[in-house]
Structure 1
Amino acid sequence: AALDPSTTGFSKPDAIHNAIYYMDDPMNIESFKNDVKASGINLEDYKLDAKDSLYKQMMGPIENVGSFSKTMVIIVAIAGAVILSLIIILSLKDRRYEIGVLMSMGESRLKIISQLLVEIMIVACIAFSISTFTGNAVAQKIGTNLLQNEVNVTEKQENPQPSNSGVVMAGP
């Protein structure tokens, strides 16, 4: 049934008075707004509103988790390098007698150092192989928990009103 212009307050029954556009990607909102402005629609009579507050609200926690993750990777890498260095130094002190015997038998320093480096690389390859398989699962679980925690904190802080994501144009 058509709207009666006398009861709705609109003078043209077939005119569009309200339009809601849903974007498939939040990055398209600015482009859409620019297209609307360029189309010549009278924006004094129509309100152009991008209801992307929920998207912007969710980007904060995601960026926080990303920043936290980068910091943790740097800290873990530095701590791991320090720990590995200490372990290697301690193992060299324990093997001092062995190195002395090898040198007294005529082995060159280059061969002894090469042997130690090969042993370290074998252990490193095994460790990297294990971490490749276990690291992804652990990182996924930790990342999910961190993101959920950030979302909960943000929801408690802002207590947003539910809204649809999209662009709304409303007229007189």
Structure 2
Amino acid sequence: MEIHIGKRVADVSLVSKEGNKVQLTIDGVPYEVDIMMAENGACSILHNGNSYNAELIRGEGGKSYTVNTHFLSYAVDIVDTQMKYLRMRKSSEERQDNKIVSPMPGKVVKVLVEKGDRLEAGDIVVVIEAMKMQSNYKVSSACTVREVLVKEGDSVASNQVLLSLDVITDKEE
């Protein structure tokens, strides 16, 4: 999952949890910690023989927190896969980039374009299935397909480029 800590973005994955012992990765770096949560939102973390205490104050919706330590306070937002997907879909509809990117891992169900095709705003270019849901990926402005980088049946990773495009500006038309 993606976690925003102030202006920093971290990719956090839970590897295992057994009682209070937690193994996780942060931006690919493995950590083993012992976490003890109290009812009042206080938490004690042991890592490499060091003890850290923090207070967690849950925000609205349960995906944002204020984390207070002895000296600092942090705004923390948890961006789950679905929220990341929706945010990327919204931003891609606002302004066409020179590529179409998969916001999450999935499977290419259909590729509707070929190299050299001229597209208009709203044209569907690829259909991806992720989390048992199919999503149509569209272009938001006129463009030409420079390169198709996937084919039907391919598995795709998060942030993988599916197509590269040449966006057509008003001057070119």
Greater RCO (Cα-Cα under 8 Å, separation 6 or more): 1
Q: Indicate the structure with greater helix content.
A: 1
TM, length-normalised to structure 1: 0.22
TM, length-normalised to structure 2: 0.22
